[in-house]
Amino acid sequence: MTKAKKVKSSVKTARNEGLEIARKIWLAGVGAYGRVYQEAAGRVEKVTGAANELFDQLVEKGEQVEDLVRSSISRNETAGKVSEYVEKTTAQVKAASETRMNDLEERFESVRKTVLEKVSPFMDKVAPLNIFAIGSQIEALTAKIEALSAEVEALKGAKAAPAKAAKKTEDEAS
């Protein structure tokens, strides 16, 4: 083997060995990541399971305390009266609030109607782009357009009739 071939062979071997080492380094990094991920996932599962278990225990304890409080209140005559009073007062406040809201809505509607009745006739004179009068103006313009269209059609019909009659008499004369 010539010296050039030996050098070329050793370069090729070194390159292959370098690639293999780089590949192994990469695989070691991926393996480390996988191991850390698995361990972290396991820990998260343990913590999540423990947290869910703790939460369930706390809910159960809360239900027990709630039952104790309810039974204590039901045995206590004064607490029962207070509870009834609170419920009664809450219902009264709710009814009063609904009544007041309905009254307020009726008043707003009454004021809105009054304003429209009182202001609307003057808005045509005050503002050319009166929002209140636009609807009635559109209706009036539509009626005028329809009347003018009917007149135009009538005039077209009137012009066409004498022209036909004149043409008919010319044909008869020949």
What is the per-residue pLDDT across 43-85, written as a single tens digit (0 to 9) for each? 888 878 888 888 889 999 999 998 888 787 777 777 778 878 8
Q: What is the share, in percent, of the chain residues with pLDDT greater than 70?
A: 83
Shared domain check, 70 and 54: yes
The better pLDDT of the pair 91, 4 is held by: 91
Shared domain check, 60 and 8: yes
Shared domain check, 50 and 119: no
Task: Quote the pLDDT of residue 70.
Answer: 79
pLDDT for 136 beyond 70: yes
Shared domain check, 42 and 3: yes
Q: How far apart are CA 7 and CA 12, in angstroms?
A: 8
Shared domain check, 170 and 120: no
**Exposure class string for 40-66: b at 16+ Cβ within 10 A, else e:** eeeeeeeeeeeeeeeeeeeeeeeeeee
Task: Quote the pLDDT of residue 128.
Answer: 55
Q: How far apart are CA 165 and CA 158, in angstroms?
A: 11
Shared domain check, 52 and 2: yes
Shared domain check, 67 and 35: yes
Shared domain check, 174 and 153: yes
Shared domain check, 87 and 25: no
Q: Which of 75, 97, 112 is the last residue of a domain?
A: 75
Radius of gyration in angstroms for the set of CA atoms belonging to the chain, rounded to a whole number = 48
Shared domain check, 4 and 70: yes
For residue 34, the tally of other CB atoms under 10 A from its CB is: 10
Shared domain check, 44 and 20: yes
Shared domain check, 56 and 37: yes
Tell me the residue range of the domain where 164 lies. Answer: 129-174
Task: Report the domain count for the chain.
Answer: 3
- Compute the average pLDDT of residues 86-111: 91
Average pLDDT across the chain, whole number: 81
